[in-house]
Structure 1
Amino acid sequence: MSRIVVVGGGAAGLELSTLLAKSVRKNDEVLLIEPEIDHYWKPRLHEIAAGTFDSDLDSVCYFTHGATHGYQHYQAAMTNIDRQQKVVNVRKADGTEDTVSYDYLVIAIGAVSNDFNTHGAQAHCMFLDSASQAREAWNQISHVLRAGNDSTINIVGAGATGVELAAELARVSKKLKRYNAACLHINLIEAADRVLPNSPQKMSEKVQEKLTRSDVNVLLNTRIKEVTHDGMQTSDGQFLAANTQFWAAGVKAPDWLNGIGGLAYNRMNQIIVNQDLSSTIDPAIFAIGDCASIPQADGSTVPPRAQAANQAAIHLAKSLSRHLDEQALTPFTFKDGGMVVAVGHHFAVGSFGIAPFAQNERCEGKLVLQGRMIRRIYDTIFRLHQSTVSGVFTVSRLMIAKRLKAVFKPTGI
């Protein structure tokens, strides 16, 4: 009998726990350590912050889900690892300390935004690294909308999170004007020379065009030097006044992770692992998702994306299950399926696969498409995540319930 402990209930951790519970031997135990009560898919946290996420139908209760799918949820947060004793030190919800023994440990705690030590960012900006932060953001924005006075929002970082948040807030502001809500003036601030700097240039152009049509003020080549309670000071001396401020730039693993258990870490606090996802220091400890630095055969590392976390979870579930039967672990190879970014609730832009006819400087070998149909693909990616976690039948019921809810209880936005 072996106990597999998974730390972190994000997309990677929850999918891995679910798949392992189905594939391991009958007497093996799967335990998920996660301080939150409910799971929310991180790429949709911007919808929680904008008040457009359906928490009733699109979240997962760890306790009931674990009981249904064969793993146990332990509500606690990891604080340390004792590799000699093979125990994880945790802090429970009531503040008390405890230890959890393991035979195999998988760390999947995800990543947080990187403020690059910008003065005032932590004190005066909101972050979207967790559902609780997103709910807090909506509480503040909801108050601003109800107050009726026009307000300015600064969002630092024009990666996927910043773009999606800006577009969703712009849509909410426009829709709620019918109820005399405040008008939100949104500044999207990016240090690079284009939005989505890690995507094909053609995709960046289409996204920026849509943002501009949505009245989002996009500020490129703009670095933030300092954040104050009422705005942001740029490196070129400009002051961007705002009532509400978000930081959505950069990605790193949490600072508290670095050094735990004496594992090897990189400068982004990520655990350095082998290609088979085992840590380079301890073969009984694995890491997947955004908190892991995963090498590839070509010398690159796996990018911090939701699809990479999903692929790693599926791979490790199979590989580790076979390893329990004394088979060798297999190397993980990331397959880039492209990128889809929502620009408002009914519109998305995506880059897909290799398009030989489009191999030019702007498309970079990717087929770039936009529109409502691409937004359907974006939603389908989320449904695939739900299918992995809860099964196709459950997802079908959720989709029917969502349609009925939209008919009988319209949200107005």
Structure 2
Amino acid sequence: MSRIVIVGGGAAGLEIASLLGRSVNRQDEVVLVEGETHHYWKPRFHEIAAGTFDSDLDSLCYFSHGAKNGYMHYQAWMIDINRQDKQLVVRKPNGEADTIEYDYLVIAIGAISNDFATQGAKEHCLFLDTPEQARDSWHQISTLLRSGQERTINIVGAGATGLELAAELAKVSAKLAKNPYAAKLNINLIEAADRVLPNSPQKMSDLAQSRLEQYQVNIMLNTRIASVEASRMTTVDGKILTADVQFWAAGIKAPDWLKNIGGLQSNNANQLVVEQTLATTADASIFSLGDCAAIPQADGTQVPPKAQAANRAAVHLAKNLVAHLEGKALKPFVYKDGGMVVAIGHNFAISTLMNDRLVLKGRLVRRLYDTIFRLHQKTVSGLFTMSRLIIIKRLKCMFKPA
């Protein structure tokens, strides 16, 4: 009997737990360690923060899902690894410490925003790294929207997360414009680079900026934040940017506590260094994937921190571990980039295809964005459940009040 313990219930961790739970022999055990009770797809955290997320149909309860898919949900957070005794040290919701024995350990905790040690950012900014942070953000935004006055929101970082959040909040504000008691949101999107989506093709950046300007988002390029205080930010050139709510969505890194945990090798971004098989360099029984792992490729490049990369690595590792339990050798993970899709509101998105040579935009591309989420649902719950959810959601949209 083997016990496979998976840490992290994000897209990658949940997919591995679901696939393994349905595939391994009955004598083997699959345990998912996750502090949250429900799963939310991280690329949609900005919708939770803006109040447009359908939690009834688009979230998932780990406890009941695990019972149906052959894994056990253990509600806790990882705090250390005892590699000698093959034990995971965790903290339960009541604050007590506990240990979980494992034969194989998979770490898929994702990444967090990188505040680059900016003074006051942690204390005075909202982040969208966890479902709890996204829900807390909505509580503040909800209160702001009910104020009936003009309000300002600062968002630092014009990558995919910051851009999608700005667009979603702008659309919410526009929809509430006819309500005399609703606040009008003035949104500042602040970026240190000379364009939005700085790691994307120029054409994609231009299309995104044009759309945001149509939504009346104030884009501030070549602007670096030196410090953050309550209700205001100061740029490196001394300009003061006041705001009622402040978000930080610039850069990513693995959590600080992950660095060298259990004696595992990590890099400057706190990511665990792994082989191309996704096994950590220091321990062949511990694997890591997603944004918390530095995954090499045969050509010397690294797998980029994208949701699609985490999903594909999850499917690969699940198959690899099932085969490994049968005595077969681990196969290397080979990543082929399928492009990028960024949603700008509920009816518009832009994407890149063919190694960034083709850039598409429009409503149909927004449906592609939704399809990526549906494929995730298919992996974790099966084709029948995914199809049922699509039908129910369409009926709900047709019959619910405007």
TM-score greater than 0.5 by the shorter chain: yes
Residue 230 of structure 2 is matched in structure 1 by 229
Alpha-carbon distance, 1:109 to partner: 0.4
- Residue 179 of structure 1: SS of its match in structure 2? coil
Which whole-Å CA distance do the structure 2 matches of 1:139 and 1:318 have between them? 41
Which whole-Å CA distance do the structure 1 matches of 2:252 and 2:227 have between them? 19
TM normalised by structure 1 equals 0.96
Which whole-Å CA distance do the structure 2 matches of 1:24 and 1:296 have between them? 28
Residue 301 of structure 2 is matched in structure 1 by 300
Runs of 5+ consecutive residues of structure 2 not aligned to the other structure: none
Amino acid at match of 1:239: I
Which whole-Å CA distance do the structure 1 matches of 2:177 and 2:76 have between them? 42
Alpha-carbon distance, 1:127 to partner: 0.2
Residue 176 of structure 1 is matched in structure 2 by 176
Which whole-Å CA distance do the structure 2 matches of 1:5 and 1:109 have between them? 13
Residue in structure 1 matching 2:358, options 362, 367, 371: 367
TM normalised by structure 2 equals 0.99
Alpha-carbon distance, 1:96 to partner: 1.1
Residue 259 of structure 1 is matched in structure 2 by 260
For 1:127-166, list aligned pairs within 5 A. 127-166=127-166
Alpha-carbon distance, 1:408 to partner: 2.6
How big is the alpha-carbon RMSD for the aligned residues of Structure 1 and Structure 2? 0.8
Alpha-carbon distance, 1:218 to partner: 0.6
Amino acid at match of 2:246: Q
- Residue 316 of structure 2: SS of its match in structure 1? helix
Alpha-carbon distance, 1:403 to partner: 1.4
Alpha-carbon distance, 1:140 to partner: 0.6
Residue 199 of structure 2 is matched in structure 1 by 198
Alpha-carbon distance, 1:25 to partner: 2.2
Residue 379 of structure 1 is matched in structure 2 by 370
Amino acid at match of 2:244: N
**Post-superposition CA distance 1:93-115 (Å, at most 9, x none):** 11111110000000000000000
Is 1:220 the counterpart of 2:221 in the alignment?
A: yes
Q: How many percent identity over aligned positions? A: 65
Residue 325 of structure 2 is matched in structure 1 by 324
Is 1:19 the counterpart of 2:19 in the alignment?
A: yes
Alpha-carbon distance, 1:210 to partner: 0.3
Which whole-Å CA distance do the structure 2 matches of 1:24 and 1:273 have between them? 24
Amino acid at match of 2:170: A
- Residue 146 of structure 2: SS of its match in structure 1? helix
For 1:259-408, list aligned pairs within 5 A. 259-354=260-355, 365-408=356-399
Residue 79 of structure 2 is matched in structure 1 by 79
Alpha-carbon distance, 1:177 to partner: 1.2
Alpha-carbon distance, 1:256 to partner: 1.2
For 1:40-55, list aligned pairs within 5 A. 40-55=40-55
Alpha-carbon distance, 1:26 to partner: 2.6
Alpha-carbon distance, 1:222 to partner: 0.6
**Post-superposition CA distance 1:157-210 (Å, at most 9, x none):** 000000000000000000011222110000000111111011111100000000
For these two proteins, the number of residue pairs brought into alignment is: 401
Which whole-Å CA distance do the structure 2 matches of 1:190 and 1:332 have between them? 34
**Post-superposition CA distance 1:351-407 (Å, at most 9, x none):** 1124xxxxxxxxxx5210100000000000000001101111111111111112222
Amino acid at match of 1:238: K
Amino acid at match of 2:381: S
- Residue 27 of structure 2: SS of its match in structure 1? coil
Alpha-carbon distance, 1:124 to partner: 0.6
Amino acid at match of 1:406: C
